[in-house]
Structure 1
Amino acid sequence: MITLREGSTRVVAGDAQEMGGMIDRALLQQMRLATSFIEASQESKLAMPMTQPALQALAEGLNCLVEGRAKVSHSVREMTRILKHSNLREVGFGCPGGLWTASANEPEALAC
């Protein structure tokens, strides 16, 4: 059995929650930026070839954030798996809920 300290484990759980929120906020901000860029481009009547490189870069940045979110989700799942084999398996740490909740027994497929 893995022996974990409750205090340290609570810090990890808090950091995981914070990280999930940070990534989601970054995703929202990136989407807002892309939207405002498109709106400004249309208002200025800029030609598509002129705006395509910037829009492509925004889309690639968004894709990186989504891939990073998947990797963080996977790491939370792995940490949950460790917790389930520890002396603290019955302790509730307020770990990320909602979209972050997943079975620790089912590995998440990653495309990157």
Structure 2
Amino acid sequence: MVKYDIRSAQQLAADIRSAHGAIDAALADLATLTCSVINTCRSSDAAPAETQAAIEKITAGLVKMVDARDGFVRAHREIAIAQSKSNLKETNFGCVGTGPLTAPAGLHVVGS
């Protein structure tokens, strides 16, 4: 059994929560920026072909941020697995929801 220092683990948990918040805030900001780019392109007199590159670049950035968030969630999951095999397995560090070990939920279509 791996033994972790409780104070270091508490700091790690706080840093994980902070990073999750920062990533989600950045993702929300990029989504807002994406909408602004699209709205500006739509309200201009530029031809769609002229604005296509800007829309492609901004949405590519948004997708990359979503991918980065996925990588962070996967890393968090690995940290939680390590905790579950350690002296701190019974310690609650305040994971959001049911924790990072929950399988990702798929989208479900609800009756119209």
TM-score, structure 2 as length reference: 0.85
- 1:4 alignment counterpart: 4
**CA positional deviation for 1:91:** 1.0
- 3-state SS in 1 of match to 2:51: helix
**Are the equivalent residues in 1 in contact too, given 2:2–2:86 (CA < 8 A)?**
yes
**Are the equivalent residues in 1 in contact too, given 2:76–2:100 (CA < 8 A)?**
no
Q: Which consecutive residues of structure 2, in runs of 5 or more, have no partner in the other structure? A: 105-112
CA deviation string 1:14-67 (max 9, x = no partner) = 111111111111111111111111111222222111111111111110111011
**CA positional deviation for 1:101:** 2.2
Report the identity percentage: 30
- 2:69 alignment counterpart: 69
- 2:15 alignment counterpart: 15
Give the Cα separation in 2 of the matches to 1:69 and 1:86: 26
- 3-state SS in 2 of match to 1:21: helix
| Aligned-residue CA RMSD (Å) | 1.7
Counterpart AA for 1:92: N
Give the Cα separation in 2 of the matches to 1:34 and 1:58: 6
Give the Cα separation in 1 of the matches to 2:60 and 2:44: 24
- 2:56 alignment counterpart: 56
